[in-house]
Structure 1
Amino acid sequence: MINRRKFIQNSLIAGGSSVLLPFGACQWLQKNALAENATISNDSLFQLFANPPASAKPFVRWWWNGDCIELEELERELDVMQAAGIGGIEINPIAMPDDAETNDCECYDWLSPEWNNRVKGTIEMAKKRDIIVDMIMGSGWPFGGEFLTEDQFLQGVGIRKIEYNGTQKVSLTIKNEWQLPGNDGAHKNPDAPDAELFFLQLIPHGANSEAELVDLMAEVDANGTIEIIVPKGKHDLYIGTKQSAYRTVMHGAPGSKGPVVNHYDADDVRVYMDKLANALEPELGGKLGDHIRSLFCDSIELSGANLTDDFFEEFQKRRGYNLKPFIPLVYYHPYKGYTESLNYEAEFVQDIKRIRYDFNKTLVELFLERFINTFHKWANEHGMKSRYQAYGMPWLMGMLDGYRMVDIPESNNWLYSPDAKSHGYWIWNKYTSSAAHLSGAKVVSSEAMTNTRGVFQTTLDTIKKNDDFNFVSGINHSILHGYNYSPPEAGFPGWVRYGAYFSDQNTWWPYFKKWSEYNARLSSLFQNTKPVTDVAILTPEADIWKEWGLMRTPFYKNPWYNHDLWEGFSRIGIAADYINEGVLLRASVDGKELKSEEASYKLVIVSGAEAILPETASAIYKLAKQGVKFLFVDQLPSETPSYFEKEKGDKEVQELMYKIFAFTNVLVEDAPKNAMLVTNWALNIKNTFGLQAGVSIDNIDEKLYVLKHQSDGGEIFFFSNQDEAKGQEFNAKFDSTTKTAWRWEPQTGERFILPTEQAGAVNVRLQPLESMVVVLEKYEDGEVDKQLYPDENSSLIIENEWKIKFKPFKGDLFEMTSNKLFEFGGHADNRIATFAGQVDYETTIELDETNWVFLDLGIEKQITEVKINNVELGVCWWGRHLYSIPKNVLTEGENKVQIKYTTTLANYANSLTENSVAKRWIELTEPEEMGLKSDIRLVKSSSL
């Protein structure tokens, strides 16, 4: 077999070049890598990595703004996306942005003959381009439409509590005091039917049972007024308001805006979706699945939907008692949760919290059964996969189980989120990938790069950082947020709904394919291998439902350490999933591992739970008795969360926990003291329970993460340095000593053998934001690649005069010379301060010696290309822009250095004060830093 790497090196040396590169260096041969790879191996996994299929390439959410769409423009945009390496589209009808210049274009109603015809044309054109098609259900979110009938509307109960101090007489007009459901002005339906009073009860402070609740409904007169005699002492008046159709579709497109459909009624959901099939299937010919890969349901933001016609009957059947005497105490503000104080006798307060658990559990069960299961089955019946986002705002409707029930679970990562813990992405990602591990789903997607703040600020550098973290957390496919349908005549920036401005009008769009190819290779690798996850973390869901309800933020932040634990384990090479009690109830034992559906775990961590169901405690006892290892953090659970037969349930839980604690494979440990100690805590747990990571890292860092997958006979390790400023160096010692360590390079599709250090360890050096794939396999035919690293103490700063040519995105070219590099944003020349586009830097340097190995531009968020003496050194689009200089490129005497620098649109867009679209999506208080400004230097190598 021809040694491909040796052949390339010899050929290049003959031409005066070399390909010895450091980790993180820009690889100037990347454009040739795919063609060369065809001969390296018949290994199917590597071929999928080197040449990813369309299903692994990034997709885009394609916003059909206002459904003002024409086939000619749809085709043009498909060509743009295909050329950029995009493998799929999600047809996403949505409202036209308020400030868009529509130029009297024609718009079409959802499912109208004209709209259906354009869907058909799009599918046909996409197929010719090997582009996969998905489609959203309805438009906007959550789905609904003006065509719904009154019996199909979403229902909700609003609640308000007013405290009175008796004795006094109070006169009220109820409508002036009540709180409508939803409480969300942005989605409020002005045409909703009139609300009605649902309950009105007075409760004295210190009440010790429901018998002290005074029902006042009968005392409200025909005009909606009431006079209440408040007895002596403090009392709470609870006002409940029932309303349907209170919430409308967010950004609904023509024909599918209006009230949200009742997600708690399976028949209503099915009738709605049948409307789609009945309109499109005759137009397309055959089932929807013959043309569309998956049907998508966006994030579930039901804003207080907490009632359906048979709710109380279902509650009685499922929970074993009548909820109606307690209804003022179980409803809550949809954006606040159970935040009001309960001024009642302590035992009654505990009863109320248990009843609240039962109430929320019933809501979740009905939602999972009637909505998600219906959605999933319907999509499959019509030949499509179901693709679903189970997180929502403000509630989480059984997030893990929601993700378990569909074909393609989908998460969401946000850029520039002010509080990533509660509104970012890593927790959504972890529940999505955890559910996929349970269900066996091969594709785990994310609504990637969601952006509502920095539309024109986003860089490929930022996208790579977030993309890598998605992979670390178990995501293996990106659905980009998003691509706007926007015809050229709409001008700049065109029709913008949201997103990171994935547009051919973006200055960095010519380089987008660098990222899309990188992303696709990693997606292909992780979609076609099996994740290795050894730890399951049981979130105390019951405690959260009792204390706060289905609220998102308390779920994410309680206990404070719960959702930090996976990161601590990842830093030491162990993957952790998040589970709920249902996972344990379905579990069996395989060896001494817990086996539940398609997932298996060597250790289960119960994260600070006070309450678990008796049947869950029984399941833990049986599993622990057979050898499964359990760690309880801070305490053993001591009660049941449910009100029904509470004394019996508490006793069962306590007795079972007493027996469980006697097992030697069960421990109770204190939680980490603070966030800085989570990784050390995880390392201690690893050692205590003898967990094997498959790799040992001698220099653990808070910004270094590890993901492990496996394939037939191979082990895959993904190391990601999330530090934007600092590199990482460590020795990775792998447990497998009979396999060869290869580095698979996702930027180029190449692979080569890594040299091993003492005791079989691989020395790894990662530049800022660099990630690395190491594959352990039996295949040994290849040359050991000897890496070159920069000698940071040996450098020559280029201090010559620079010729600088500005090629603006809009406007005339201009030039200048400067003896030093400078930042653009604060420049006195407004053309420079508001610049967006390409800048060409050129200088000549005199050299006495030519053994410089790198050109170092420093850490840079923008994009650079470099030539030295007219030899292309490559493109850098993330992290440290460190270019490897091939042999014989530098000469003694004069050398020409050329740098092409491409900025974002941020400062330019911010300057467009008269452009309402640009102003809406960017408003900088300070200009973005741009322009080369670090010392540019030549650097020697630290090793040969």
Structure 2
Amino acid sequence: MLKWNHLCICALLAANTTSAQVKWPAITQTAKPWTRWWWEGSAVTESGLTSAMEKYKQAGLGGLEVTPIYGVKGQEKLFIPFLSDRWMHMLDYTLQEGKRLGLGIDMATGTGWPFGGPWVTDADASKYVTYKTYTLKAGTPLSEPVQFIQEPIFRSANNKPFAQTPQVLEPISANTNLQELAIDQVRFRKPLPLVALLAYDAKGAVTDITGKVDANGKLNWTPTGDVTLYALFQGWHGKMVERAAPGGEGMAIDHFSLPAIQHYLGHFDTAFKGHSLAGLRSFFNDSYEVDDARGQSNWTPGFFAEFKQRRGYDLQQQLPALFAKDGTDKHTRVLYDYRMTVSELLLEKFTQPWHGWAKSKQKLIRNQSHGSPSNILDLYEAIDIPETEGTDILRFKFATSAASFAGKQLASAEAATWLDDHFLSTLGDVKQSVDKYFIGGVNHIFYHGTNYSPTDSPWPGWLFYAAVHFTPSNPFWRDFDALNKYVAHCQSFLQQGRADNDVLLYFPFHDRNCQPGRDMLHHFDGMEGFEKTAFQHAGEEMLTHGYTFDLVSDKQLLSLKNNLQSAGGKYQAILLADVQHIPLVTFEKLLEQANNGATLLFYKNMPADVPGLHNAQSNQTKLKALKEKIRYDANGIAKYGKGRIILGNDIDALLEAGRVRSESLQGLQFVRRATSEGTVYFITNTGTSRFNGYVTPAAAGKYNILFDPMQERAGLASTRTGQDGKMQIMLQLEVGESCILKTGNVAVTGSVYPYVQAVGAPQNIAGSWQLQFLEGGPALPATATLSAPKAWTDSDQEGVKQFSGTAKYTTRFEKPDGPATATAWVLDLGKVSESAEVILNGKSIGKVLGPTYKLTIPVTALKGDNQLEIVVTNGMRNRIIDMEKKGINYKNFYNTNFPSKKAENRGADGLFTAANWQPAPAGLLSDVTLTPVSVMQDKATGKEMLQPVP
């Protein structure tokens, strides 16, 4: 990497015995990015594990999450059944090698996802409830049996309809070809057990006649008046473990049952006996994903008792209201209570017991709580490392808010899963994706992901169905270390201190759960279900206008201390955006906070109603009385005790009236953390043009330091005082470029940050170029001479269009003429496909990943005659196209083999194909230029060194 010791003038500030040096934080194992590590078929060997882990270490990864998945066809003899003695030996060996190499190790608590396996019995498997109704006249017995026959379902990851599959045996463990079947969901035709039979008369009186039904379903009871019977049956949802490894195929567990998770984890306890887990950091669970199937898992034995204990009334008295489709007030209240009970059971019967089990082993848990029918903020807070995924910042906020609110050090992300279709994403694309996670509050990146692949496996080796292939067979692996070093530098800052967010945005969980839907349960996953709502609008407005915030649940609000103090920090205000339903206890807590000095902000209106059936009328009356005590003035502001309550129709005006600070960073995106030394900002330019100007950070200090985490430059920031008296800080960021700004009041000594200003026009590096292919395939094309840099795919030379790998462009040039004020030259590679390393006079001066490909070269690094080598690496695409056209098969996996993100890239078999693609341009795609620049520095104070220029 390019070092600036020769470039920067050591501008020391006045001596101060308490001053500190400008320096980078140490790179820890956790600061480095980690990756999900798929063991296909668990077909690993000791030598293979060592070889792979050494490559991962060399590439700059900090740790691995072991997740066994489906196997590779033709490798069946190498399969190792999950948790068998042989499998445990391989885990032991991995932990041993991880310790030797300094790699952290997590492991999934199962294979694939969700939790499940062959040891999950019908009693512990996920379940659903269904019902039938019967209408009887007085004195008329029921003539038909009380019976419900479950219809068969077969859903395979390999798109095989039920009629075309081999016979599937029950129990599932009796099948010997589960890898081939790749079952996602299966149900068998059979009668379902009766849960309850209840008779409702016209006045609403209920009679429990469940005990009147014999073993054949005959009802031995005759009504004395007209009645409607509701018969409830318990079904087996049939969800199987997705992407299961050998020995891990089986039913998904019942997430609402304590015995189910206890029995499930007990199987691990048995396997772990006699093995040390000392090298294991954490257990992992992927997203809920039980209900990405037909029907919902929405029932558990003992539900009626749990409901009555939690909701204060007997659900069996209200089945007509629960199953109604009329949207009446009673229906929505009973349905809400049912959903709240499910939400609490998932937290208390699954998440918390799993956490307790791991804690008993001195291990952490990492969990993706999204997608579940629960208040996911509460699920995320109940674990050690909340993990998100996807591409939307507001989705990230659910996991990162829970970490921020609770003061957890880490929030992780399953990163770069499907940025584009297979073989298209570049390291530059991944960098942009990672930056977005950072903006959303993530500080612990897990790539998705890396396959274990035997060293003798033909190229491209074993692959996974996700589209960004972080594997050594991918040519971009050559420059992967540059991305990983960048991530490590960023995370070394972002794992310091705590998230510094000012607003708590109330999550309208109850509004959503009061809304009827097609299904019994709603599932919560970012803004899904909240599209075009005030909640989404409030979040987007705050992101756009520079306000920092966390999402907050009722349970979290109830834990707040006075003055909006949580375990993670202190907030300036709470914002409720057009909330309609709120539990009385939550509203009382909000007013208590206001009475003690907090600021409450209500966008559009105050809540109008309380949810749920129990004591609804009494609670409504109390809510109304509490609201009537709030007296707003003409500006919508009410004094309440020591605090204020503000009502308004404009988010920005509300926040301003609430005296909430905002950032003025001129469209740059950021995230902010508070440390013992001051404040840390991560700032990135997601715009379409270079940023070159001053910004006004709200937390600017007397001493402000800039760090370039990609090119490892650092120094004191240029500052000036704005017309409003606030400190402004100079930033220069290319498109897609990021920086770290560290502010504080502790005196700092060191070099000034090396800002640059052009002092002349760009000059082409003219002359001939030698193009030499270094590594890759299917074969190395011959060396060629070019009159100017151009894509190697533009040549008629044999093999260049099929080539994926690395080639070196070499030229010589004389030291360019520049003005006397030029102290450096900016080398601009122009357009590159896809990443490059620059070597000047035999010395590497840096790697560039895009979208901008520029490096600054000190004048002192140039000689009279210079050799410039630009080592360019493209991706897997062109070689894959060649393989597809030649009919060479690399898609030989038992499960999900091999999906495409885009419909146009699917072949006749429904699988991904690149056969219709054209080779992508590769190499240098434009002229290479040098621009003379002046490195602007101030030897005394570092203030107002550089005026912004176009």
TM-score range, shorter chain: 0.7 to 0.9
Distance 1:323 1:687, change over 3 A: same
- Give matches, 1:562-641, under 5 Å: 562-563=535-536, 565-590=538-563, 594-641=564-611
Question: Equivalent residue for 1:311?
Answer: 303
Distance 2:31 2:462 in 1: 28
Unpaired segments ≥5 residues, structure 1 = 13-17, 22-40, 163-170, 225-235, 332-341, 414-423, 672-680
1:923 equivalent in alignment to 2:913: yes
Aligned to 2:262, what secondary structure does the other structure show? helix
Distance 1:933 1:308, change over 3 A: same
Question: Equivalent residue for 1:85?
Answer: 60
> Pick from 190, 196, 208: which aligns with 1:194?
190
Distance 1:626 1:325, change over 3 A: same
Distance 1:635 1:720 in 2: 36
Question: Equivalent residue for 2:361?
Answer: 382
Question: Match of 1:156, as an amino acid?
Answer: Y
Distance 1:764 1:848, change over 3 A: closer
Deviations 1:780-839 (A, max 9, x none): 222323421346x82234565554444543213234455566557788778344331123
Distance 1:669 1:859 in 2: 49
Unpaired segments ≥5 residues, structure 2 = 11-16, 135-143, 160-181, 219-227, 633-637, 892-896, 900-911, 937-950
1:539 equivalent in alignment to 2:507: yes
Question: Match of 1:412, as an amino acid?
Answer: E
Distance 1:55 1:820 in 2: 44
Distance 1:874 1:432, change over 3 A: same
Question: Equivalent residue for 1:856?
Answer: 828
Contact 1:19 1:886 in 2 (8 A): no
| Deviation of the 1:556 alpha carbon | 5.1
Deviations 1:248-278 (A, max 9, x none): 1112222222111222221221222122122
Deviations 1:86-106 (A, max 9, x none): 22222212221xxx3544542
Distance 1:209 1:486 in 2: 68
Aligned to 2:646, what secondary structure does the other structure show? strand
Question: Match of 1:408, as an amino acid?
Answer: I
Aligned to 2:442, what secondary structure does the other structure show? coil
Q: TM-score, normalised by structure 1?
A: 0.80
Question: Equivalent residue for 1:903?
Answer: 874
Question: Equivalent residue for 1:365?
Answer: 344
Question: Equivalent residue for 1:339?
Answer: none
> Pick from 717, 721, 729: which aligns with 2:692?
729
| Deviation of the 1:841 alpha carbon | 2.8
> Pick from 678, 697, 720: which aligns with 1:757?
720
Question: Match of 2:659, as an amino acid?
Answer: G
1:705 equivalent in alignment to 2:669: yes
> Pick from 734, 758, 761: which aligns with 1:767?
734
Question: Match of 1:397, as an amino acid?
Answer: S
Question: Match of 1:716, as an amino acid?
Answer: V
- Give matches, 1:402-551, under 5 Å: 402-413=379-390, 424-451=391-418, 454-499=421-466, 500-547=468-515, 548=517, 549-551=521-523
| Deviation of the 1:904 alpha carbon | 0.8
> Pick from 300, 303, 310: which aligns with 2:288?
300
Distance 1:634 1:65 in 2: 53
Distance 2:211 2:511 in 1: 33
Report how many residues are paired.
840
| Deviation of the 1:242 alpha carbon | 3.3
Aligned to 1:601, what secondary structure does the other structure show? coil
Distance 2:537 2:842 in 1: 50
Question: Equivalent residue for 1:338?
Answer: none
Aligned to 2:696, what secondary structure does the other structure show? strand
> Pick from 646, 661, 679: which aligns with 1:715?
679
Contact 2:389 2:414 in 1 (8 A): yes
Distance 1:938 1:76 in 2: 41
- Give matches, 1:52-91, under 5 Å: 52-91=27-66
Distance 1:255 1:265 in 2: 23
Contact 1:822 1:931 in 2 (8 A): yes
- Give matches, 1:731-880, under 5 Å: 731-734=694-697, 739-747=702-710, 751-759=714-722, 760-777=727-744, 778-790=746-758, 794-798=761-765, 802-807=769-774, 808-817=776-785, 831-843=799-811, 849-851=817-819, 853-858=825-830, 860=832, 862-868=834-840, 872-880=844-852
Distance 1:655 1:934 in 2: 71
1:321 equivalent in alignment to 2:313: yes
Contact 2:394 2:539 in 1 (8 A): no
- Give matches, 1:98-117, under 5 Å: 100-117=72-89
Deviations 1:744-803 (A, max 9, x none): 332365532112234442111211111111112313222323421346x82234565554
Deviations 1:146-198 (A, max 9, x none): 12333222211358999xxxxxxxx9999799697999988544465835286
Distance 1:368 1:178 in 2: 31
Question: Equivalent residue for 1:167?
Answer: none
Contact 1:559 1:608 in 2 (8 A): no
> Pick from 835, 844, 858: which aligns with 1:886?
858
Aligned to 2:274, what secondary structure does the other structure show? helix
Contact 1:595 1:601 in 2 (8 A): yes
Question: Match of 2:437, as an amino acid?
Answer: N
Deviations 1:60-91 (A, max 9, x none): 22211111121111111111111111222222
Distance 1:936 1:599 in 2: 49
> Pick from 640, 655, 666: which aligns with 2:645?
666
Question: Match of 1:297, as an amino acid?
Answer: N
- Give matches, 1:235-384, under 5 Å: 242-244=234-236, 246-284=238-276, 288=277, 290-303=278-291, 304-324=296-316, 326-327=318-319, 330=322, 344=326, 349-384=328-363
1:690 equivalent in alignment to 2:659: yes
Question: Equivalent residue for 2:375?
Answer: 398
| Deviation of the 1:627 alpha carbon | 2.6
Contact 2:126 2:237 in 1 (8 A): yes
The farther-off stretch of 514-523 and 536-545 is 514-523
Distance 1:896 1:556 in 2: 59
Contact 1:179 1:241 in 2 (8 A): no
Contact 1:123 1:291 in 2 (8 A): yes
Contact 1:612 1:653 in 2 (8 A): no
Aligned to 1:788, what secondary structure does the other structure show? strand
Deviations 1:685-719 (A, max 9, x none): 443222234x543xx22xx2121112223221211
Distance 1:216 1:183 in 2: 37
Distance 1:832 1:209, change over 3 A: farther
1:151 equivalent in alignment to 2:128: no
Distance 2:835 2:435 in 1: 18
Aligned to 1:652, what secondary structure does the other structure show? helix
More helix by share: 1
Distance 1:466 1:189, change over 3 A: closer
Distance 1:788 1:860, change over 3 A: same
Distance 1:934 1:800, change over 3 A: same
